[in-house]
Amino acid sequence: MIGQTLRLKVAALTDIAPSLRHVRLVAADGGKLPPAAAGAHIQLVLAGPGRSFRNAYSLVSRPGARDAWDIIVRRVPTSRGGSAYIHEALQAGDTLEASWPGNLFAPVRTARRHLMIAGGIGITPFLSYLADFAMSGGEHALHVCCREEEKDVFAPWLAGRSGVAFHWDADGHRLDSPALLAAPPAGTHLYVCGQAAMNDEGIAAAAAAGWPASHVHCEHFGAALVGGAAFRAFLAKSGIEVQVGEDESLLDAIERAGVAAPCLCRGGACGVCAAPLLEGEAEHRDHFLSPAERNAGRLIMPCVSRAKGGRLVLDL
Amino acid sequence: MMHSDIKSRPAYQALVPDLAGSRHLLVIEGDALPPGRLATLSNTFAPVADSLHTWLTGAPAVEGIAGKLWQLGSVEDVLDTLACATRGYGMGDRLYVLGTEPFLWSVAGAAALIGFGPGQLQLEHAGSLRRRVWCTHCHVTTENVTTGIVACRGCSRHLLVRDHFSRRLGAFMGVMVDAEAPGEIPAIEEVFA
Amino acid sequence: MSIAFKPEETFRGDYRYRNSDAAILRFPFPFPEDRYMYSVNIEPHTRSGPSDVYLHAFDVDEHYIAECRDKAITLERDPGRCQVLPHMMMAQWDTLELLMESLSADYPALFSLTKEGDDFGSLWTWINRPLGIEQRFVFGDAETLPCEPFEYITRQAQGDFAICDQRDDNLYMDAGMVTSQADWSLEFDVGMSFMEWHGPVPLAHQTGVFERALKYLLMLRLGQPVRRLNWTMSINPRLDTSPESYPEWGPDRASVTPANAGEKVHLRVELQTLWRLPRSNAILFPIRCYLASLDDLARVPKWGKRLHRVLSTLPPQLVEYKGLTRYLPAALEWLAQRDDGAELPVGTAAGVTRLNAPVSG
C-alpha cells in the first residue's frame, strides 16, 4: 500500500437534486482502491478551460470500500471551476487523476458518544461516519439541517441507519442547539460540518454549554471562503508575477503559473501549503496559523488566504 | 514547590475555577492540605459557589467552605462515589483535584473512565513529594517512596526510581539498580520528602 | 527469491544466532559520517535504498523463523508485552490487513492471502509457509482468530509494533507488541502521548526535535510511509533487552573485555517505519531490529573503522542513556586495533561485495 496518485474512471453520474451530483469512481486499471476511513476525502484534478482545478471531496462510500468510491458534488453557483466542470462536462467513462485518501476529520476513537450536526451538503463526511458506527457499534446521533424539500435527497445513504434527525426552517422543526448541547453525558464528542455561519454557531453553542474545545470538531474545508478582491502576487524564487482573480485562490493562481506548491486539504486546515511571505499584508482565513504566527506576518496559507493590499511577495 | 524537567510528568498548577463550566466538583485530599489553603480555595471558588460541590477526605470538619461540602473517608470512597454518582456527568462538568501525586492520578484515572476529558480536569499538587513506584520486573507498586532507591514490596529487588512517569499508573518507573553488578547498591538517600 | 531460514538459531541461553555473509552485507549500517550526529533523518519508505532491507514494505530475512519463536517464548513468560487499549480494534484490523497484503505481495513463495471480499465480514484464508500456518477467518470478526488480530499477525512478523491513535493534535501509544526492544517498557508507556513516551530521551527535547517530528507525523499520508534508523548496542545477540528482563541480561554488560568484545558486543539497528492506517486513521510504527557483532561489522573494513570513530565522539549523556557506560571502553579498544585512520567515503554503503575473513574467534 504505497503510492501517491491514482487514475480513476467515472463509473456513473447521477443527479440526486438540482444542484447535487453523485459521482461513482473506480480504479481506471480495474484494480482495487486503497481502503479509506470514515471522514476521509480525496483530491480530484479537474480539467477546466485553460487550466486545471484541484478540489477535495468527502468519500461517502462505506469505510474500507475498495471496489468503488462515491462522492457528492454540489454545484457552487458562482463557480467557473471544479464543481461546474463536474456538473457540466464530466462524462461516464472519463478518467481523472486523484490523490490517495486523506483524513482531517476522523471520528475520535476514545469518544463514548458521537454527536454530529450537518448543514446541507455538510452531511457528506457523516454518511461514512454512520456506516462506521453501524459496524463498530459507536453510540451516535446525527442532526441534519437543510431545506425541507432536501431531506429525502440522502435517503439512499441513510437506509437502515439509526439516530438520524432532520431539521428545517419551520416552527417545530428548527434545531434547538442549546438544548441539544446541554444534555450529552461526559465523554461525548461533537462534530459540525456545514456553512461557515452554521459551524460558528455550533461551536459557540457548545462553548456556552461548557464543552471543552478538545471535544468539538469542525470540518472546515469545502466551506471555506475562496473568493475576494483580485490582487497580484510576486513569486520571488520563480520570478513570476501572478494575477489572483476574484473567484480563485492564491494557490489556484500559483498552480496556474506552473509553480509547484505542496498542498493537502485546500481549506486552510492542514498547514501543508504554508508559504513564506516576504512583503505585503495577508488577510488570513486559515485555521492553522497561531495568532502569534499571524501577527508575525511571515507565513501565509495560499489555499484560502488573500492579500489585504493589492500585492504580496511570496518566497516561492 | 514541585518542579522538574521530567517530560512525562505534567506541570501541576494552582486550581482556578473554569468559568466556562456549568458544574464544578472540587476533590481535596484533606491530609495533604497546607494550612490556610482551604480558605484561599474557598475565596478563589466563590464565583462558582452556586454550582460547586466539594469532597474532602480524611480531615476534620471545616467551616465556611464555598458550595456544598461532603466529607469522605479515603481516596477509595472518592473513587466509589465518582463511579456510582446518581447524577450523570456532562460536558459542562469540571473536576478540580488537590493532593499528593498518587491521590491526583487515582482520581484522574477514575474520572477518565467516566468520560472526563483533559480539558475538564485540573490538578494541583499538595503535601508530600513521596512517589508511587511501579516495579518493571514484577509490576507491583510500592507506595510512599521517599528515597531514590527503594526495595520493591513485590520482589524485594532494589529499584532505582527513574524520572519517567506514567499517568495511567500514577507512578514512576522502578528498575533494578544492581542488575549489572549484583550487590553494588549505592547509598540510599531521602530525595522525595 | 528464496531465503535459507535458520530455525535452529536462539537469542538467549546458548545464543546460536549467526549472520550469514549475505546478511552482514545487507546490514542497515546507520552511520554515514565519522562523527556522531543526531538527526531526525526521516525519509520516504519507498522500495529503494542503500541496502536491500529497504526493498520491501516489511523485510523478512534468514532469522524469521527463529525470531518468531523467540517472540513466542517472551510472550509466554510475560503476556503483558502485548497491550491493546479497547478503542484500537479498527487499528488492529488495519495492521493485519497491511501486513498480510504486503507480505503476500512481496514474498508470494512464503505467504499467501486469499479473499472472498475486501469488506468486513468477508472470508479470508492466510497461509504462512515458513511457520506452517493456514488460517481461515472472517475479516472484522476477532472471534474467528485464535487471538485478537493485532497479536495474531504481529506474532508472525519480525520486530516490534506500536500503534499510535491520533486525536487532539497528538499521538497516543495505545497498542503495542514489544518483545525485542531497546530497554523501554510498553506496559509502563502504553497510553502515553508522543512527548510523554519520549520523556527519557536526553538532549533532543531542548532542540525542539520532538515538536517538529510530531507535527510532521500528524500529517503522515496514507500510501506514503516514511522510515528512519535508530541504534544502540547489546551484549550478546539478545532480542529481549526489555527493562522487564533486565535482571537477566544486565550482568552481561559486565562481562565484556577487550578480548571478547568482537564476539559479545553487537550493534543493534532499528529500522523504524511509520504508516498511516486507512480505516482507523491511526499510525502503525513497526520497529525492526537487526543485530550484528563487532566481528561481523569489522569484516566490512569501512564499517568497522567508522563505528570506532562514531563511538569515540558520542556525547556522555547518550553513552549513559544507551546503557554503554560499562563496556564502551573495551569495545573501543577492540575497534581501535582495526582502525588505521584511513579516510572513509561519506555514506553508509559497505563499499565491498565480499567480506574479509573473520577477524576473531
pLDDT digits (tens, 9 = 90+) for B129-153: 999 999 999 999 999 999 999 999 9
8-state DSSP, C5? -
Domain that residue B73 falls in: 23-125
Q: Which of A26, A58, A109 to mutate to test the interface with C (most CBs of C within 10 A)?
A: A109
Using a CB-CB distance cutoff of 8 angstroms, which residues of chain A are in contact with residue B89?
Answer: 185-186
Q: Note whether B99 and B172 are same-domain residues.
A: no
| B4 assigned to some structural domain | no
Q: Is the dihedral of CA A3, A4, A5, A6 positive or negative?
A: positive
Domain that residue C157 falls in: 21-336
A 10 A CB-CB count for C131 gives 17
Of the residues B125, B142, B168, which one is the last residue of a structural domain? B125
Please say if the pLDDT value at position B1 is more than 90.
no
Q: Which tens digit of pLDDT belongs to each residue from C204-234?
A: 777 777 887 888 888 899 999 999 999 999 9
Which amino acid is it at A221? F
Nearest chain B Cα to C196, which residue?
Answer: B8
- Taking the C-alpha atoms of residue C316 and residue B31, their distance in angstroms, rounded to an integer, is 43
Please say if the pLDDT value at position B3 is more than 50.
no
What local confidence, expressed as pLDDT, does residue A224 receive? Answer: 43
**Among candidate residues A286, A278, A290, A289, the one with its CA nearest the CA of residue A303:** A286
What local confidence, expressed as pLDDT, does residue B83 receive? Answer: 83
CA C54 to chain centre: 13
- Taking the C-alpha atoms of residue A153 and residue A182, their distance in angstroms, rounded to an integer, is 30
Is C228 a residue of the active site? Answer: yes
What local confidence, expressed as pLDDT, does residue A72 receive? Answer: 95
Q: Note whether B90 and B132 are same-domain residues.
A: no
Using a CB-CB distance cutoff of 8 angstroms, which residues of chain A are in contact with residue B20?
Answer: 207, 210, 212
Coil/strand/helix, residue A59: coil
**pLDDT grade for C294, boundaries at 50, 70 and 90:** very high
Please say if the pLDDT value at position A47 is more than 80.
no
**pLDDT grade for A186, boundaries at 50, 70 and 90:** very high
Q: Do B115 and A186 touch (CB under 8 A)?
A: yes
The crossing angle, in degrees rounded to 10, of helices C301-312 and C328-336 is: 140
Phi, psi for B54 (deg, rounded to 5) = -120, 130
Going through chain C in order, the beta strands assigned E by DSSP cover 43-44, 82-84, 111-115, 123-128, 133-138, 160-167, 170-177, 226-235, 265-276, 283-293
Tell me which CATH code domain A113-218 carries.
Answer: 3.40.50.80
What local confidence, expressed as pLDDT, does residue A252 receive? Answer: 87
Please say if the pLDDT value at position A238 is more than 50.
yes
Of A293 and B63, which is predicted with more confidence? A293
Q: Quote the mean pLDDT of chain B.
A: 90
- Taking the C-alpha atoms of residue A305 and residue A250, their distance in angstroms, rounded to an integer, is 7
A 10 A CB-CB count for C76 gives 9
| B53 assigned to some structural domain | yes
Q: Which tens digit of pLDDT belongs to each residue from C232-265?
A: 999 999 999 999 999 999 999 999 999 999 999 9
Distances (CA, A) of C291 to A211, C42, C161, C288, C300: 51, 21, 18, 10, 15
- Taking the C-alpha atoms of residue A208 and residue A206, their distance in angstroms, rounded to an integer, is 5
Number of folded domains that form chain B:
2
**Among candidate residues B107, B96, B81, the one with its CA nearest the CA of residue B13:** B96
- What are the grid coordinates assigned to B17, written together? 475555577
By Cβ distance, the residue of B89, B94, B119 closest to A214 is B119
What local confidence, expressed as pLDDT, does residue C38 receive? Answer: 72
**pLDDT grade for A217, boundaries at 50, 70 and 90:** very high
Q: Of these residues, C18, C69, C228, C326, which one is catalytic?
A: C228
Mean pLDDT of C68-79: 98
Q: Which CATH number fits domain A231-314: 3.30.565.10, 3.30.470.20, 3.40.30.160, 3.10.20.30?
A: 3.10.20.30
Number of folded domains that form chain C:
1
Mean pLDDT of B50-78: 83
Which amino acid is it at A269? A
A 10 A CB-CB count for C193 gives 20
Of C208 and C323, which is predicted with more confidence? C323
What local confidence, expressed as pLDDT, does residue A289 receive? Answer: 84
Of A133 and C201, which is predicted with more confidence? A133
The answer to whether B88 faces chain A, any CB pair under 8 Å, is yes
Which amino acid is it at C335? L
| C86 assigned to some structural domain | yes
**Among candidate residues A304, A306, A305, the one with its CA nearest the CA of residue A56:** A304
Q: What percent of chain A has pLDDT over 70?
A: 94
**pLDDT grade for C359, boundaries at 50, 70 and 90:** low
**Among candidate residues A25, A10, A60, the one with its CA nearest the CA of residue A40:** A60
The answer to whether the beta carbons of residues A53 and A45 sit under 8 Å apart is yes
| C346 assigned to some structural domain | no
- What are the grid coordinates assigned to A63, written together? 469505510
Q: Note whether B108 and B155 are same-domain residues.
A: no
Residues 6+ apart with CB under 8 A from B94: A210, B17, B18, B21, B23, B24, B25, B120, B121, B122
Q: Which of B157, B164, B184 to mutate to test the interface with C (most CBs of C within 10 A)?
A: B164
**Can you name the residues that pair with C88 across neighbouring β-strands?**
none
Helices (H), chain C: 21-25, 64-77, 89-106, 149-154, 186-189, 194-197, 209-218, 246-249, 261-264, 294-298, 301-312, 316-321, 328-336
Instruction: Please give the CATH topology (third level) of the domain spanning A5-103.
Output: Elongation Factor Tu (Ef-tu); domain 3 (2.40.30)
The answer to whether B119 faces chain A, any CB pair under 8 Å, is yes
What local confidence, expressed as pLDDT, does residue A223 receive? Answer: 40
Please say if the pLDDT value at position A152 is more than 50.
yes
Distances (CA, A) of A77 to A19, A81, A272, B4, C156: 9, 11, 28, 58, 55
| B86 assigned to some structural domain | yes
- Taking the C-alpha atoms of residue A222 and residue A302, their distance in angstroms, rounded to an integer, is 15
The answer to whether C211 faces chain B, any CB pair under 8 Å, is no
| C176 assigned to some structural domain | yes
**Among candidate residues B104, B158, B108, B156, the one with its CA nearest the CA of residue B130:** B104
The answer to whether B53 faces chain C, any CB pair under 8 Å, is no
- Taking the C-alpha atoms of residue A75 and residue B78, their distance in angstroms, rounded to an integer, is 57
Beta strand B141-145 pairing with B131-135: antiparallel
Using a CB-CB distance cutoff of 8 angstroms, which residues of chain C are in contact with residue A109?
Answer: 87-88, 90-91, 165, 167, 280, 282
Phi, psi for A113 (deg, rounded to 5) = -155, 145
Residues 6+ apart with CB under 8 A from B66: B41, B42, B43, B45, B46, B48, B49, B52, B54
| B14 assigned to some structural domain | no
| B8 assigned to some structural domain | no
Per mean pLDDT, which range of A177-191, B3-17, C263-277 is the poorest? B3-17
Of C215 and A103, which is predicted with more confidence? A103
- Taking the C-alpha atoms of residue A183 and residue A202, their distance in angstroms, rounded to an integer, is 14
| B94 assigned to some structural domain | yes
Q: Quote the mean pLDDT of chain A.
A: 90
What local confidence, expressed as pLDDT, does residue A227 receive? Answer: 67
